[in-house]
Amino acid sequence: MTAQQLFALTPGEPAGIGPDLCLLLARQAQPHALIAIASRELLAERANCLNLDIRLITVGPGNWPSAPAAAGSLFVWDTPLTAAVQPGQLDPANAAYVLETLTRAGQGCLDGHFAGMITAPVHKGVINQAGIAFSGHTEFLAELTHSEQVVMMLATHGLRVALVTTHLPLKDVAAAITAERLTRVSRILDHDLRSKFGIARPRILVCGLNPHAGEGGHLGREEIEVIEPTLELLRGEGIDLVGPLPADTLFTPKHLEHCDAVLAMYHDQGLPVLKYKGFGAAVNITLGLPIIRTSVDHGTALDLAGSGRIDSGSLQVALDTAYQMAAAGGKR
């Protein structure tokens, strides 16, 4: 087995459901060798809590597996905790542990050990409580990989939605829709659909910012002054962009049937539709990185940690997507 057939899996917040998800997935064999970068002790304790008989196999640099793990087994690159973990109880003492798992996974991808990384949810608040400035996986990995611009895209069966802006208050969105930002995001989206998904000529539908895409300027002029001129210039580069279109009618079958992705102007313009269509079976993908990174579409669910009342569907979709991206090429 080559290094390109190994995938890193980070369980995220140790008090959340991430460790549980990793163990539940290990009940079935995966098509590729999956390396959980986590505390072996934590996984053993959580397996006991869940009454799961999972064999934990220690691996690491110089001792990578030569084949996928059998059903009921999980490869673990042991990463020590700072403090003991109680399911559902956050502890800032383990913030550094969480970031170490991400660093090992991301650096392992950069170094060619892993073909991609799949992440379970972290808890941003408790990391910040530890005195560590942290705004999320996306920003952390962008800094680790020295990536100037990254793009958030969520996907489920039959729909991909990328965002021009992400976690901004609505009052700040219009000012953030600049020609420069829209150009960068569109180029990354087009490039990564080609290089990481194997789509020869991606067709991208672009939402307008305002109701009815501005109604010819009567409901806002951002479409006329920023969005339309920028899209026209990008079409001259060979990027297939359709729009700007009214968001309330763009997300209908007649439009979505003939596109490869939707580019939404802000978080709650595009993601409610995607999550309605595929919550629990959706994946979060970071574009613009020199590595493959996918994640679940949900949070840490602290109240469910250790309960056994969870669904691993989103994590399996994240795994399957990473495998598909690696097979399609997977690099910037």
* Residue 55 labeled ligand binder: no
CA pair distance 155, 162, nearest whole angstrom: 9
Residue 9, token pair as written in the block: 């899996």
Which pLDDT score is estimated for 313? 85
* Residue 167 labeled ligand binder: yes
Residue 133, token pair as written in the block: 């400035």
* Residue 191 labeled ligand binder: no
Residue 140, token pair as written in the block: 């952390």
Q: Please, what are the domains in the chain?
A: 6-147+293-330 (3.40.718.10), 151-275 (3.40.718.10)
pLDDT digits (tens, 9 = 90+) for 263-304: 999 999 999 999 999 887 899 999 999 999 999 988 899 999
Which pLDDT score is estimated for 312? 87
Closest by CA to 249, choosing from 204, 221, 211, 277, is 211
* Residue 194 labeled ligand binder: no
Half-sphere exposure of 241 (CA within 13 A, CB side): 29
How would you list the strands of the sheet with 116-119, edge to edge? Answer: 55-58, 73-78, 33-38, 6-10, 116-119, 293-295, 283-287, 151-156, 159-163, 261-264, 203-207, 240-245
Residue 80, judged by CB atoms within 10 A of its CB (0-12, 13-18, 19+), counts as exposed
Which pLDDT score is estimated for 331? 58
CA pair distance 102, 142, nearest whole angstrom: 12
pLDDT digits (tens, 9 = 90+) for 222-260: 999 999 999 999 999 999 999 999 999 999 999 999 899
* Residue 32 labeled ligand binder: no
Task: Give exposure, 132-158, as e/b (b: 16+ Cβ within 10 Å).
Answer: eebeebbbbbbebbebeebbbbbbbee
Low-confidence residues of the chain: pLDDT under 50 = 1-4
* Residue 275 labeled ligand binder: yes
Q: Which residues pair with 10 in a beta bridge?
A: 119
* Residue 137 labeled ligand binder: yes
CA pair distance 221, 267, nearest whole angstrom: 20
Helices and strands in the chain, H and E counts: 13, 12
Which pLDDT score is estimated for 131? 92
Which pLDDT score is estimated for 100? 97
Which pLDDT score is estimated for 251? 96
* Residue 293 labeled ligand binder: yes
CA pair distance 318, 121, nearest whole angstrom: 12
